[in-house]
Structure 1
Amino acid sequence: MDSKETNAKIVKMNLGASIRLNKFGIALIGGMIFFIVLLYRNSGTPPRSDFDGRAATVSLKRLLSAAIDAAERGGKIVYDVRVKATLNEQSKGKTKEGANDPVTDGDLKSHLAMFYALTKAFPGVEVISEEHDKSNVDASTVSPAATFNVEVESTIVDDDSIPAEDIRVWIDPLDATQEYTENLKQYVTTMVCVAVKGYPTLGVIHKPFENLTAWGWAGKGVSPKLHVTKDQGGPKDDIAHIIVSRSHSGDVKDVALKAFGENTVVIPAGGAGYKTLAVIQGEADAYVHVTLIKKWDLCAGNAILNALGGKMTTLKGTSVDYGNREEYKNQGGVLATLYQHDYYLPKLQVLQKS
């Protein structure tokens, strides 16, 4: 065999070895990629749209789970501050009615936990809070809100993906602060609401001193733990039971008596969240408010009522829009009912015109 034939055979042998090696390498790399993908899919890591501010859409089911987690985190802080009696109460000034408008460490620390838990979990979503950060706030200790909740998964069958730009999240880190300072703990709540194009869609009201979390998703369902009264078909025993604010009442008591009769039972209570739940649970027929109120006080209860087929409107009967952070004041009063909204509303409207 001459040198040319020998070299040709060597080249052929090397070429064959090279081809076999490349096939093995490709198979190995392919197996590694498959294994990595399998691990990622089984890790429970939420879709990128939940965590990436550049994403176009947001899962409402995951956002509801995060809202529940945020409200309960805030509630734990509110509870601990009250139990330790470290309120450090200050005043934000006077309300329009001349009542004190306090703020405490419970409000501010709850805000820190709730606001940053939500913004870290959903950086592309606008979150609007009643409170604001103090200078030099360290948010590094706040972890993103959990985007999985067993109760939500077992109750809600499907999901909606919504453009992030259509979503506004309203949070009230401590509703009923005045009552909180007076140790009237039954009225205190923490609340989160998700409005889609201004419509209150997801609502969470957490009672930290009763360890109760009520939530609702308009068109989808409500928390199975939420007690909902049966259809009352109008006022109990033909006597309207109206729940009103105890600390910002204005002339609402007189309005209720004039609108629904002198036998009307007027129930003073603290916190818009508490009062809305009282209507849902049958402790009152309607919640009436006649003076200015902030939208973070209303949004969560409004969403839960929407999920139950109830209504919350202004005293003129118009819906409250939650689509603009700059328009955070509701000037038109409030009527909230689970049933028979059309029974109560005309009576209030007639009184306004007189």
Structure 2
Amino acid sequence: MKVSAQSLIQALVNASEKGAKIARVIRAESALLELLVQEKCGDQKNRRFLQDFKTLADVLVQEIVRHDLSGQFPGIGGSIYGEESNRFTNVLGESISVQLCEDQDATARLLCRCPEMCSVLDDNMAAATMLARVAHEQVVMDAGSKLQEVNAELDLDDLGVWIDPIDSTAQYISGLCGVPDGSGLVSCGLQCVVVLLGVFSKSSGLPLVGVCNRPFAQTTGDKWKGDLMWGIAVENSRVFSLPSEKTNNNKQKLVILMSQSEKQEVKKKFQASGTVQHASGAGYKLLCVNQGIADAYILSKNSTYMWDCCAPHAILLAQNGGVVSYKSLCDFKGDLSSCSELSLKHQITYHQGNQDGPSSQKWCNQDGIVAYCSLEALKSIIQAINND
């Protein structure tokens, strides 16, 4: 069955904005947020962090996307994958399986008090009603004039969707407001939080469509305003929305984003040929490459996942950038004239998991990642590796 790429992008944009609204509603209620935070443990724990949290926002946003996309594109629900299960346990040890019910009242009752009498929202029906209202409301967000340039059709049976409902959860929970530098980069804070929805081909594994929505992009007093970016890379149809302020800093040196936890020897390798900066959140760092704030994001370790990368990767492909594994660049023995061939053949794919390791590592990018804005940036990165 063929579906219009335009209609799919609009549906993803709408779902991402509904998710962003949920994130803002929960963040605005500090007592509610405190109750809802659940620490991950065991196989669900990301090895990078001493504390890796899961919130009701994560679970609820993921289920909203699944519900809304399934309603518009019947059959896609079984091909929607995410970071979270729909099982939520609050700090009191009370659990429910989060889902959208037949109407707002039923969803509010589920969130407030499930059939087993678990008061997951501590009997706070006002809070449950507020969340249920946003979850069930009809959200239509303007995707921008660029959407009219999209004329591709997609095979619904070949589509899979990766969701990261609240990327940079630690920043979301801390609730701090980051301070942008001269380029617009925020090293930490709520501005690093991103809702990521990425569509990929189940046959090739390549990303096709991506939507990245920042719920806390700008603040005006005590209120937050979001922004979003989308892109499509399907055969000859490569279209992307422009952010409200596309960065153009006339950079003299390559600007590379890395994690604070990156190995020192990797940082030194690239400091010789570029400027290395740090920021929180894989999704946010990838988005910064899309926005022109940075030329590349480099991570040598296996601490990003397919749900982190799929959406921003699709937007990078739409802009003639891409995401390849760090290992593939270290192993590259050709000359720079064959760089474009490397880019074509070694894009990270999203349809197959890793065979080894714990279940939490099944969908990690086990050979690291290099996200780049252009072939010229990729060439500079390869030169930096070869000059080591």
Preserved contact between residue 172 and residue 296 of structure 1 (Cα < 8 Å): yes
> Structure 2 residue aligned with 1:245, among 259, 264, 267?
259
Q: Which amino acid aligns with 2:268?
A: L
Alignment partner, residue 220 of structure 1: 238
Matching of residues 250-329 of structure 1 within 5 Å: 250-251=262-263, 253-261=264-272, 264-292=274-302, 293-315=304-326, 316-317=328-329, 318-324=346-352, 328-329=363-364
Task: Find out whether 1:169 has 2:204 as its counterpart.
Answer: no
The structure with more radius of gyration: 1
1:91 aligns with 2:39: yes
User: Kindly tell me: are residues 59 and 145 of structure 1, through their superposed partners in 2, closer, same or farther at Cα, counting changes over 3 Å?
Assistant: farther
Instruction: Quote how far apart the aligned CAs of 1:310 are.
Output: 1.2
Residue 155 of structure 1 corresponds to 147
Residue 382 of structure 2, aligned match among 326, 346, 354: 346
Structure 2 CA distance for partners of 1:265 and 1:193, relative to 1, 3 Å = same
Name the SS of the counterpart of 1:256 in structure 2.
helix
RMSD: 2.7
CA contact (8 A) 2:166 2:196 kept: yes
Instruction: Encode CA deviations 1:277-309: one digit per residue, 9 max, x unaligned.
Output: 222333222111122111110011101111111
Q: 1:231 to 1:307 in 2, by over 3 A?
A: farther
Q: Is the 8 A contact 2:290 2:312 kept in 1?
A: no
Paired residues, number: 288
Kindly state the Cα deviation for residue 224 of structure 1 after the two structures are TM-superposed.
3.7
> Which residue in 2 is equivalent to 1:3?
none
CA distances 1:248-286 after superposition (whole Å, capped 9, x unpaired)? x241x541222341x753322112221122223332221
Letter matched to residue 243 of structure 1: L
SS in 1 for 2:314: helix
Tell me how far 1:179 sits from its aligned partner: 1.2
For the Cα contact (< 8 Å) 2:289–2:296, is it kept in 1? yes
Matched, 1:139 2:122: no
Change over 3 Å in CA distance of 1:274–1:178 after alignment to 2:
same
1:98/1:207 CA distance change after superposition, 3 Å: closer
**Aligned-partner SS, 1:329:** coil
**3-state SS, counterpart of residue 14 of structure 2:** helix
Q: Give the aligned residue type for 1:203.
A: G
Q: Distance in 2 between matches of 1:59 and 1:123?
A: 14
- Further displaced range: 88-97 or 199-208: 88-97
Cα deviation, residue 121, structure 1: 2.0
Q: Do 2:81 and 2:160's aligned partners in 1 also have CA atoms closer than 8 Å?
A: yes
8 Å Cα contact 2:146-2:241 kept in structure 1: no
The alpha-carbon distance between structure 1 residues 217 and 237, as it changes in their structure 2 partners (threshold 3 A), is: same
Give, in angstroms, the shift of residue 74 of structure 1: 0.6
CA deviation vs aligned residue, 1:326-353 (integer Å, no higher than 9, x gap):
75221111111213233343246548xx
Mapped partners of 1:145, 1:58: distance in 2: 21
Mapped to 1, the partners of 2:160 and 2:137 lie a distance apart of: 18
* Structure 1 residue runs without a partner (length 5+): 1-55
Shift of 1:187: 0.5
2:323 counterpart SS class: strand
C-alpha distance in 2 between matches for 1:130 and 1:119: 18
Partner of 1:114: 65
TM-score for the superposition, normalised by structure 2 = 0.67
SS in 1 for 2:157: helix
CA deviations over 1:221-248 (Å, ceiling 9, x no partner): 111445444596xxx333x4221224xx
The separation in 2 between residues aligned to 1:157 and 1:176, in whole angstroms, is: 32
State TM-score, norm by structure 1.
0.73
CA contact (8 A) 1:129 1:172 kept: yes
Q: Which amino acid aligns with 1:244?
A: M
- Where structure 2 has 5 or more consecutive residues not aligned to the other structure, the ranges are 88-95, 104-134, 176-188, 218-225, 330-345, 355-361
Equivalent residue letter for 1:217: I
**Aligned partners of 1:127 and 1:169 also within 8 Å:** yes
Which amino acid counterpart does residue 66 of structure 2 have in structure 1? F
Aligned residues of 2:150 and 2:239 also touching (Cα < 8 A):
no
The structure 2 residue matched to 1:64, chosen from 3, 9, 16, is 9
CA offsets, 1:4-30, max 9 Å, x none? xxxxxxxxxxxxxxxxxxxxxxxxxxx
The 3-state SS of whatever aligns with 1:192 is strand
Contact 1:290 1:332 (8 Å CA) reproduced: yes
**Correspondences of 1:21-100 after superposition (within 5 Å):** 56-85=1-30, 86-87=32-33, 88-93=36-41, 94-100=45-51
**SS of corresponding position for 1:151:** coil
Partners of 1:156 and 1:221 within 8 A in 2 = no
Between the aligned partners of 1:171 and 1:145, the Cα distance in structure 2 is: 20
Q: Are the structure 2 counterparts of residues 268 and 123 from structure 1 closer, same or farther at C-alpha, using a change threshold of 3 Å?
A: same
Contact between 1:65 and 1:152, CA under 8 Å: does it hold in 2?
no
